[in-house]
Amino acid sequence: MKLYNTLARKKEEFIPANGNNVSMYVCGITAYDLCHIGHARSSVVFDVLFRYLRFKGYDVTFIRNFTDIDDKIIKRANEVGKDTKEIAEQFIGEFYVDMDKLAVLRADVEPKCTEHIAEMIALTTRLIEKGNAYSTLSGDVYFKVRSFEGYGKLSGRNIDELESGARVRPGDEKLDPLDFALWKNAKPDEPSWESPWGMGRPGWHLECSAMSEKYAPLPLDIHGGGQDLAFPHHENEIAQSEADTGKPFANYWVHNGFVQINSEKMSKSIGNFFTIRDILDKFLPETLRYFLLTMHYRSPLDFSFDALEEAEKGIKRIYSALAQADVELTKSKWKKSPFPEELITELAEIEKHWNEAMEDDMNTAGALGHVFSAIRLAGRVSEDKNLRKSEGGRDLFTRIKADMAAWGTVLGIFECDPVEFLTELRDNRAARAGIDPAKVQGLLDARKEARANKDFEKSDAIRDELAAMNVEVKDTPTGATWDVQ
Ligand SMILES: [Zn+2]
């Protein structure tokens, strides 16, 4: 598999350092608020990478941390009069609610910062001993950026350019404006822990270095996160860990692109901002997950409700095709008529292309394109009255269903029962259109009764009423079904 490595600035063949074992560390959330669409993207992207590596047969150790102490958590705790632990626990709980809905799997290890203070103090102590860090009179500890030669290598920044842009805030006791905090001395009314430098708390960058080292052998195979974390967070992690161990920190650095809202940068202050909850109030979680995978993970993703509605049409087509395949496969008798070999070859090509797309830097957008090729192929067989009844047709439907199941395991979509999903999707669309499914069902029942009584005037009136509600009725051999127009 090829992965784009931010450190190398190119796609590289992915070769784990320890044979079949893969270690993957992804920076998790700072637990002080509900997750937004940017978190959804990053979580889904790395969830698919995790699923795909497992699908390929690797034994993956996936580590995703929770930052449960930080300026933002302290600020939030003070605003609402709770302690920081309560705030962090609350929003870790909310994170799980959202991620479970989005079918994001739990990581193997989900360490919290406050449970690794000892490891962080030990790392800081080693860095001081090695001459890469220093403590100040007031009890802060800083990493001495110029003591680490490779600083800037991940983000491609030159240390002298960084120097000219760096600022020292009043009260800072940094020796150099570039230096960053490993340990912060305790401020009044802030949570703090005992350390060799007095009471204080760790700086944000420190936790990922300390926890990576604890839960995986270094170098990590994959270190991931959103593109916004590459500098300074990941650059600082590299400096801390590599200065400490003298070994590379991670072999492949994988970053997902930004989410934009209506082509603009997402920003709370201009109201250009959506939490996952805001979106799931209107759309099904699987629609959102599907939407997030329709773009390559490194491209910027432009979010809008219109784009989400387009994605909804896509997921509906996929499930409709799966439902149709199930209908075809309920037949009990199959004809031994000849089946065109080229259709089987075509499916084999589609399977190959799906694989190639995923192998090429996890191109989920490309892979979804091949999913549509497979369902179009199934559709062509369904439309041919001879092929659909033949044993060859049965084998093709069965194989496409098996492919879809395997692909669904990797992408984390189309794993539901098709009929149940399509009903759920219809009701979701109905809710957005202000249509009450119970009312529609009542009208359909009344219509059925009117027809049975040959009261066609009444049944026509009911049909008109449904049409005026934007409800489309389809009469099938097993009864009337409906959808939102
Ligand atoms: Zn991190």
Taking the centre of ligand 1 as the mean of its atom positions, its distance from the CA of residue 226, in whole angstroms, is 10
Structure tokens at 271: 């109201």
CB 295 within 8 A of CB 365: yes
CA 282 to chain centroid: 19
CA distance 52 to 467: 45
Domain end among 364, 385, 419:
419
Taking the centre of ligand 1 as the mean of its atom positions, its distance from the CA of residue 296, in whole angstroms, is 23
Statement to judge: residues 415 and 444 lie in one domain:
no
Taking the centre of ligand 1 as the mean of its atom positions, its distance from the CA of residue 180, in whole angstroms, is 15
CA distance 5 to 12: 7
Q: Is residue 293 part of a domain?
A: no
Statement to judge: residues 33 and 121 lie in one domain:
yes
Q: Is residue 309 part of a domain?
A: yes
pLDDT confidence of residue 473: 93
Statement to judge: residues 222 and 311 lie in one domain:
no
Which secondary structure element, helix H or strand E, spans residue 225, and what is its range? strand 220-226
Taking the centre of ligand 1 as the mean of its atom positions, its distance from the CA of residue 234, in whole angstroms, is 6
Taking the centre of ligand 1 as the mean of its atom positions, its distance from the CA of residue 413, in whole angstroms, is 28
Please list, in sequence order, all residues whose beta carbon lies within 8 angstroms of the beta carbon of residue 268, skipping any fewer than 6 positions away: none
Taking the centre of ligand 1 as the mean of its atom positions, its distance from the CA of residue 384, in whole angstroms, is 55
- Number of domains the chain is built from: 3
Share of the chain above pLDDT 70, in %: 100
Domain end among 369, 392, 419:
419
In this model, does residue 237 exceed pLDDT 90?
yes
Instruction: Specify the CATH number for the domain of residue 370.
Output: 1.20.120.640
Give the long-range contacts of residues 359-363, CB within 8 A, separation 24 or more: 359/1, 359/2, 360/2, 360/11, 361/2, 361/3, 361/4, 361/11, 361/296, 361/298, 362/1, 362/3, 362/45, 362/48, 362/49, 362/52, 362/297, 363/296
Q: What residues are neighbours of ligand 1 (ion), with CB under 5 Å?
A: 27, 208
CB 114 within 8 A of CB 68: yes
Statement to judge: residues 203 and 270 lie in one domain:
yes
pLDDT tens digits for 111-165?
999 999 999 999 999 999 999 999 999 999 999 999 999 999 999 998 888 887 7
Q: Is residue 8 part of a domain?
A: no
Taking the centre of ligand 1 as the mean of its atom positions, its distance from the CA of residue 120, in whole angstroms, is 13
Taking the centre of ligand 1 as the mean of its atom positions, its distance from the CA of residue 66, in whole angstroms, is 9
Statement to judge: residues 186 and 78 lie in one domain:
yes
Q: Is residue 200 part of a domain?
A: yes
Taking the centre of ligand 1 as the mean of its atom positions, its distance from the CA of residue 342, in whole angstroms, is 50
Taking the centre of ligand 1 as the mean of its atom positions, its distance from the CA of residue 208, in whole angstroms, is 5
Cα angle, residue 374 at apex, residues 372 and 376 outer, rounded to 5°: 70
Statement to judge: residues 140 and 258 lie in one domain:
yes
Taking the centre of ligand 1 as the mean of its atom positions, its distance from the CA of residue 26, in whole angstroms, is 7
Using DSSP bridges, classify how beta strands 21-26 and 220-226 pair: parallel, antiparallel or unpaired.
parallel
Which secondary structure element, helix H or strand E, spans residue 223, and what is its range? strand 220-226
Q: Is residue 294 part of a domain?
A: no
Taking the centre of ligand 1 as the mean of its atom positions, its distance from the CA of residue 212, in whole angstroms, is 9
Average pLDDT estimate for 89-112: 98
Statement to judge: residues 262 and 314 lie in one domain:
no
Statement to judge: residues 393 and 454 lie in one domain:
no
* Average pLDDT of the chain to the nearest whole number: 95
Q: b vs e for 342-359, b when ≥16 Cβ sit within 10 Å of the residue's Cβ?
A: ebeebbeebbebbeebbb
Taking the centre of ligand 1 as the mean of its atom positions, its distance from the CA of residue 207, in whole angstroms, is 7
Taking the centre of ligand 1 as the mean of its atom positions, its distance from the CA of residue 366, in whole angstroms, is 29
Structure tokens at 346: 């075509």
Instruction: Specify the CATH number for the domain of residue 125.
Output: 3.40.50.620
pLDDT confidence of residue 271: 78
Taking the centre of ligand 1 as the mean of its atom positions, its distance from the CA of residue 64, in whole angstroms, is 9
pLDDT confidence of residue 454: 96
Q: Is residue 69 part of a domain?
A: yes
Domain end among 419, 451, 468:
419
Statement to judge: residues 103 and 176 lie in one domain:
yes
pLDDT confidence of residue 99: 98
Average pLDDT estimate for 407-422: 97
Taking the centre of ligand 1 as the mean of its atom positions, its distance from the CA of residue 27, in whole angstroms, is 4
Statement to judge: residues 169 and 236 lie in one domain:
yes
Statement to judge: residues 372 and 464 lie in one domain:
no
SS3 342: helix
Taking the centre of ligand 1 as the mean of its atom positions, its distance from the CA of residue 12, in whole angstroms, is 23
3-state secondary structure 245-286: HCCCCEEEEEEECCEEECCEECECCCCECCEHHHHHCCCCHH
**Across the strands, what pairs with 5?**
10
Q: Is residue 352 part of a domain?
A: yes
Taking the centre of ligand 1 as the mean of its atom positions, its distance from the CA of residue 211, in whole angstroms, is 9
pLDDT tens digits for 187-196?
988 999 999 9
**Lowest mean per-residue pLDDT among 76-85, 128-137, 472-481:** 472-481
Which secondary structure element, helix H or strand E, spans residue 355, and what is its range? helix 341-359
Q: Which of 233, 214, 254 is nearest to 61 (CA)?
A: 214
Q: Is residue 194 part of a domain?
A: yes
Statement to judge: residues 389 and 444 lie in one domain:
no
pLDDT tens digits for 4-51?
999 999 999 999 999 999 999 999 999 999 999 999 999 999 999 999
Taking the centre of ligand 1 as the mean of its atom positions, its distance from the CA of residue 222, in whole angstroms, is 12
Average pLDDT estimate for 373-399: 96
CA distance 339 to 146: 70
Q: Show the domain range for 440.
A: 433-484
Average pLDDT estimate for 366-371: 98
Q: Which of 411, 384, 434 is nearest to 315 (CA)?
A: 411
